[in-house]
């Protein structure tokens, strides 16, 4: 598995933990919630990229949640599964605020994470929401790079 995907998965797990526990950002970024064996397996570059995603997502959480809410069709934000919400939040952050990452890569990564950690249809739902955000933000046929 590519190191950036590992970092994205860590970021999704951290955003999920943050949402569920309301821990301080420093506590989330310490990765204390990972057992020591797992934490030791991650290279510093993976942890650093995960931290970038976590910090950015939490700093922009209000605008990210507004974008997600605006692209939910026939679904209440409050009804989203917390895992799906964490994937959408990190995916939206990457899509909007990481201009050096092509939009399709951000969406594809979120889809792959949803296939692994979400329910059976999560990846389709996440694809639809993120693609809607991409189209509104960048235009119908534009990939940010």
Domain 3-138 belongs to what topology? N-utilizing Substance Protein B Homolog; Chain A (1.10.940)
Whether the model pTM is above 0.95: no
Does residue 106 contact residue 130 with C-beta atoms inside 8 Å? yes
Q: What angle do CA 61, 27, 84 make, to 5 degrees?
A: 40
Q: Report yes or no: 31 and 47 within 8 Å, Cβ to Cβ.
A: yes
pLDDT digits (tens, 9 = 90+) for 23-70: 889 989 988 878 777 777 788 899 999 999 999 999 999 999 999 999
Domain boundaries, the chain: 3-138
Residue 12: name the closest of 100, 115, 138, 134 by CA. Answer: 115
């Amino acid at each position: 598995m590519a190191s950036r995907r590992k970092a994205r998965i860590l970021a999704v797990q951290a955003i999920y933990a943050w949402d569920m526990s309301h821990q301080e950002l420093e506590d989330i970024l310490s990765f204390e919630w990972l057992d020591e064996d797992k934490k030791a397996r991650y290279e510093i570059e993976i942890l650093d990229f995960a931290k970038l995603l976590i910090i950015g997502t939490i700093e922009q959480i209000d605008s990210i949640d507004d974008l997600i809410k605006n692209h939910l069709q026939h679904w209440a934000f409050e009804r989203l599964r917390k895992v799906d919400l964490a994937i959408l939040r990190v995916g939206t952050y990457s899509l909007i605020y990481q201009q050096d990452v092509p939009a399709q890569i951000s969406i594809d990564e979120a889809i792959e994470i949803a296939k692994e950690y979400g329910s059976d249809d999560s990846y389709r739902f996440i694809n639809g929401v993120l693609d809607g955000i991409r189209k509104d933000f960048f235009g119908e046929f534009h990939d940010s790079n």
